Amino acid sequence: MTPTQHILNTADGLDRLMGDADLYRQLLLRFRKDYQHAVAQMRQLLAEGIPVAAQRKAHSLKGAAGMIGAQELHHLAGVTEAGLGASGREVHAGLDLLERALASLLLAITSHLDETQHDAAMPAAPSSDATADARPLIERLAQLLDDGNGEAIDMLEQSATMLAASLGVAMFQEVAAAAHEFDFEAALAALAPALA
């Protein structure tokens, strides 16, 4: 086990994407962009008296962390999500712990991206042809999500490359993160623009 594997298990992350290194790189870039300020945002939401929104942010962070193979952060975000309904020092201690874990993960992501930069070609933006080719797959995925069928998760993992190419990395990540949390309703809502 590498020194940072408990922080970012790249083998696990790649396994979830059927070994697609380019897609994994895109997910890491997206995670770093979308979640680098996640804990500060949770603190702000708590300060504004909106704990439910802070819980949603923790839930989203948990799903995204699980998707990239960051199991330690995935676990801590889940604990934080559950604890945000309470109040007092325990909540702030939990956020401190989560913040440190997130900082460590961001460093591990940057390190991994730097190491793999020389052989990473940025994938092209999704084309309308790619979306058209994947249309039956997207419609089948939507049906599985609508039925609450766990096969949706298998499809997301087995067809990750094609789905990410047709939906775009951001939408794919949002759908996959929600589905991996068994929040099929949120996954279907995230997929909706592709079905329009």
> How far does Cα 33 stand from its chain's mean position?
12
- Whole-prediction pTM: 0.68
Contact call for residues 10 and 112 (beta carbons, < 8 A): yes
Q: What is the mean pLDDT of the chain?
A: 84
Instruction: Give the residue, 80 or 153, on which the prediction is more confident.
Output: 80
- Residue 43's pLDDT band (cuts 50, 70, 90): very high
Distance CA 193, CA 2 (A): 40
145 residue type, one letter: L
Query: Which residue carries 């079905």 as its tokens?
Result: 195
Which amino acid is residue 57, in one-letter code?
K
The domains found in the chain, sorted by start residue, are: 10-119 (1.20.120), 128-195 (no CATH)
3-state secondary structure of 122: coil
CA distances from 77 to 38, 72, 137, 180, 187 (A): 10, 9, 31, 15, 19
Query: Is residue 51 within 8 Å of residue 129, measured between CB atoms?
Result: no
Note the pLDDT of residue 87.
Answer: 61
**At what angle are helices 38-47 and 51-68 packed, to 10 degrees?**
170
- Within 13 Å, how many C-alpha atoms sit on residue 75's CB side? 7
Angle between helices 169-180 and 184-195 (to 10 degrees): 160
107/124: higher pLDDT:
107
Is the pLDDT at 124 greater than 80? The verdict is no
pLDDT digits (tens, 9 = 90+) for 127-149: 444 445 678 888 889 999 998 88
